[in-house]
């Protein structure tokens, strides 16, 4: 036998015969020497301190906040709903989440709420047994060949809300010769009686949405004047007409006669707003006059706060506050008693013509800036705080809220000449409509809140179906539905 091999064999036998204490002390002394340390070629990880929320991307998705998933809302509604249904189906089959309905991807916090459900247990081990008694509506037959669970079958059978389709083609186009291409004018308004008033040059024309009949209400060329603004009262019986010489005329639409002519402005009147029997008018002379049409013209309130032309006026739905926008880039809020503005917003970088009060949230005011600003901004007038803003990429000319949904429409000028429908508060674009070749300076909403009319310097009026129908069955039969007979 080889002597070297015999020596190693005897050393191993003697080492095994040593007591346990002696072996431990020997091993401890050996580990103190760096020469005796040997490292293997295998690495066995320890998983006791692993962070599964980092190692597994799906679990990390569950921990995201709704603000981090905000960019995912720009995807199309159909593909996003399919992705949500597929994700819910996987959670049912793999994790036993028990989801029975597909969440709406456009609704804030719903996606986060569904995905965060049962996020505390990523893996679950259960024994699945089929139930012998079953209900045909809720349970899966024991003879079914489908590998899906009962919850997944309910998920697949849950009704899918169809995506709202907004036509990108106007359902009616009217010629409007001499419709001025002036950003500071307001020449189109839609009454509660379904009459459209349009200021064309020196005349005001009324177009009936029920019969398509056109009548001329007034002609100011006799006085050497022109129309700069029109506005209907809430009942739709009176129409106010602002002129280039600073007059405000009140006309009876049904009788076709002028009731009164109000003086007081020294320059053109580009903005009008009714508040019951009171009429507010904004002019290039930087003054807002508020008058009651039932009292003598001498009884008036003069509101002075803008340093340049007043180009936007809107009363709040509760008739308590008046919002005014001017060419001085200011947005002012007035109450019904004070002669000074109670709030002033100076964030816009251009003229503020587009103003709209929300009919759904008390005190919520939206405004849009001109070419140098291009932003939509939202304000909480109850606290005076700025809420949100977004850059639209083009001049904001008009704003209007939907009467039935939390959406609003904006019309734009330089340089897109487009019409955008927004969902609030996510501020995602629902639709983008094009067709006008000039700035879309004029906007009015139909009395039933479903359609809008837009006017531009291309001398056309275009009618669009942009807002969803009302949920109230009593209001579903609106006079605007008569449009279907004359298309």
Give CA separation, 478 vs 194, 238, 373, 376, in Å: 10, 21, 38, 31
Q: What is the pLDDT of residue 483?
A: 33
CATH number of the domain encompassing residue 372: 2.130.10.10
Rounded CA gap, 51 and 267, in Å?
Answer: 71
Residue 307 domain flag: yes
Structure tokens at 455: 């006017």
Residue 324 domain flag: yes
Q: What is the pLDDT of residue 4?
A: 74
What is the greatest pairwise CA distance in the chain?
135
Rounded CA gap, 257 and 268, in Å?
Answer: 22
Residue 70 domain flag: no
Number of domains in the chain: 1
Residue 69 domain flag: no
Q: What is the pLDDT of residue 165?
A: 84
Residue 29 domain flag: no
Q: How many CB atoms lie within 10 A of CB 486?
A: 10
User: What is the reported pTM?
Assistant: 0.69
Q: What is the pLDDT of residues 287-323, one digit of tens each?
A: 999 999 888 776 789 999 999 999 999 999 999 999 9
Closest CA to 444 of 192, 215, 262: 192
Residue 261 domain flag: yes
Q: Which of the residues in the chain have pLDDT under 70?
A: 1-2, 5, 9, 14-80, 103-141, 160-163, 298, 470-487
Residue 292 domain flag: yes
Contacts from 71-79 at CB under 8 Å and sequence distance 24+? 72/105, 73/105, 73/106, 73/426, 73/428, 74/428, 75/105, 77/105, 77/106, 77/163, 78/163
- Which residue range forms the structural domain that includes residue 190? 183-394
Residue 246 domain flag: yes
Structure tokens at 358: 């929300």
For 91, phi then psi, to 5°, come to -65, -35
């Amino acid at each position: 036998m080889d002597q070297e091999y015999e020596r190693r064999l005897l050393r191993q036998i003697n080492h095994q015969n040593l007591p346990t204490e002696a072996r431990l002390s020997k091993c401890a002394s050996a580990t103190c020497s760096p020469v005796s340390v040997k490292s293997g070629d295998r690495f066995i990880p320890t998983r006791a301190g692993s962070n599964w929320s980092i190692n597994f991307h799906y679990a990390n998705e569950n921990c995201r906040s709704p603000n981090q998933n905000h960019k995912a809302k720009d995807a199309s509604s159909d593909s996003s709903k399919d992705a949500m249904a597929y994700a819910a189906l996987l959670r049912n089959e793999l994790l036993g989440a028990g989801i029975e309905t597909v969440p709406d991807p456009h609704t804030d916090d719903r996606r986060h709420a569904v995905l965060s459900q049962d996020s505390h247990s990523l893996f679950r081990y259960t024994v699945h047994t089929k139930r012998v008694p079953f209900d045909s509506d809720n349970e899966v037959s024991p003879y079914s060949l489908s590998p899906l669970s009962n919850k997944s079958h309910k998920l697949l059978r849950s009704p899918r809300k169809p995506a709202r389709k907004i036509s990108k083609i106007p359902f009616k186009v009217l010629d409007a010769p001499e419709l001025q291409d002036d950003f500071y004018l307001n020449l189109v308004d839609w009454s509660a009686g379904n009459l459209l008033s349009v200021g064309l040059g020196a005349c005001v024309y009324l177009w009936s949405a029920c019969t398509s009949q056109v009548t001329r209400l007034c002609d100011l060329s006799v006085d050497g004047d022109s129309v700069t603004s029109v506005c209907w009262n809430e009942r739709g019986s009176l129409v106010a007409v602002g002129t280039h010489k600073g007059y405000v005329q009140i006309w009876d639409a049904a009788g076709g006669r002028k009731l009164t002519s109000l003086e007081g402005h020294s320059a053109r009147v580009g903005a009008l707003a009714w508040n019951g029997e009171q009429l507010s008018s904004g002019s290039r002379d930087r003054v807002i006059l508020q008058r009651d049409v039932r009292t003598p013209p001498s009884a008036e309130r003069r509101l002075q706060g803008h340093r340049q032309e007043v180009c936007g006026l809107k009363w709040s739905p509760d008739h308590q506050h008046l919002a005014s926008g001017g060419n001085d880039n200011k947005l002012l809020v007035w109450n019904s008693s004070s002669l000074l503005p109670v709030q002033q917003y100076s964030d816009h970088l251009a003229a503020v013509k587009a103003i709209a009060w929300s009919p759904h949230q008390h005190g919520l005011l939206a405004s849009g800036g001109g070419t140098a600003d291009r932003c939509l901004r939202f304000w909480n007038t109850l606290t005076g705080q700025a809420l949100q803003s977004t850059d639209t990429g083009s001049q904001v000319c008009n704003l209007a809220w939907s009467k039935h949904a939390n959406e609003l429409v904006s019309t734009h000028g330089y340089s897109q000449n487009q019409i955008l429908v927004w969902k609030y508060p996510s501020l995602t674009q629902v639709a983008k409509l094009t067709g006008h070749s000039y700035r879309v300076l004029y906007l009015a909403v139909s009395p039933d809140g479903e359609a809008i009319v837009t006017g531009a310097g291309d001398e056309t009026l275009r009618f669009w179906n942009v807002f969803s129908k009302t949920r109230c069955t009593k209001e579903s039969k609106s006079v605007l539905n008569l449009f279907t007979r004359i298309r």
